């Protein structure tokens, strides 16, 4: 069975953090910001999932445009990243279709929108949506 799983960034781990002197803590913060290029690993935890049929129904309800294109990336690329640049776009799209959603879809969308709000509050957080067979 194919399912779509959204993972939320829970922590960042800096490889060899013990090599950085206490006086250079800004280097640590900068390193976390520039990411994988220097040995920073993102630690994700699954926070939301659905089966392929549910995903297809939800995607079909999104209006044509950037939000549906973003979500369709799961099919096209196997995964998508949702960061601060997507929060308003996706939240607005889900608000627009809320009246067309059934109870199961509303529950899923509400959890997703809460994750978007967490990204707004802390821009270092992001989501990764992946298709798993």
Distance CA 119, CA 82 (A): 9
Query: DSSP readout, 7-47?
Result: EEEEEEEETTGGGS-GGGHHHHHHHHHHGGGGTEEEEEEEE
Reply yes or no on whether the pLDDT at 50 is more than 90. Answer: yes
* Pair 15, 37: CB distance under 8 Å: no
Reply yes or no on whether the pLDDT at 65 is more than 80. Answer: yes
pLDDT digits 0-9 by tens, 12-30? 555 555 555 666 556 555 5
Residue with tokens 């990204």: 119
- What is the pLDDT averaged over residues 106-115? 98
């Amino acid at each position: 069975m194919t399912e779509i799983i959204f993972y939320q960034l829970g922590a960042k781990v800096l490889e060899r953090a013990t090599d950085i002197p206490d006086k250079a803590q800004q280097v640590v913060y900068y390193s976390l910001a520039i990411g994988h290029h220097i040995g920073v690993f993102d630690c994700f935890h699954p926070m939301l999932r659905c089966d392929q049929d549910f995903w297809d129904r939800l995607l079909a309800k999104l209006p044509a445009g950037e939000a549906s294109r973003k979500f369709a990336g799961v099919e096209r690329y196997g995964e998508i990243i949702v960061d601060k640049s997507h929060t308003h776009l996706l939240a607005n799209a889900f608000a627009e279709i809320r009246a067309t959603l059934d109870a199961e879809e509303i529950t899923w969308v509400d959890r997703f929108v809460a994750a978007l709000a967490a990204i707004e509050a802390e821009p270092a957080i992001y989501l990764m949506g992946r298709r798993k067979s």
